[in-house]
Amino acid sequence: MYNDSLMSNYEYDIIIESNSTLQNVTLYLPVPVFENESEVGLEIVNGDYYNKPSSWNLSLEDTEYGLMLKIETAEIQPVYHSLPVAVPEPEPGSEDIEDEIPEEDQIVESHEYSEETPVLVSINFGTSVKADNLINTRYPIGNESVLLPKHNLRESEEAPTVPRSEHLNPEYFDYESLVYAHYDASHDAEVQIFVELDGRNEWWIYGWQYNEYIDRIFIQLTGPQAGWVQAEGKLTTGDGIYKE
pLDDT of 160: 65
pLDDT of 118: 60
Phi first, then psi, for residue 112 (nearest 5°) are -135, 150
pLDDT of 1: 46
Domains of the chain: which residue ranges? 2-76+115-240
| CA atoms of 26 and 75, how far apart (whole Å) | 10
* Among candidate residues 199, 244, 195, 191, the one with its CA nearest the CA of residue 222: 191
Tens of pLDDT, residue by residue over 123-147, are 999 999 999 999 999 999 999 999 9
Tens of pLDDT, residue by residue over 29-54, are 999 999 999 999 999 999 988 889 98
Cis bond before residue 32 (omega within 30° of 0): no
Chain length of the chain = 244
Category of 35 on φ-ψ map: left (φ > 0), alpha (ψ -120 to 50) or beta: left
pLDDT of 13: 97
pLDDT of 81: 64
Averaged pLDDT, 48-72: 94
Q: What's the mean pLDDT when you consider all of the chain?
A: 87
| CA atoms of 205 and 134, how far apart (whole Å) | 17
The answer to whether the Cα torsion of 226, 190, 13, 44 is positive or negative is negative
- Per cent of the chain over pLDDT 90 is 64
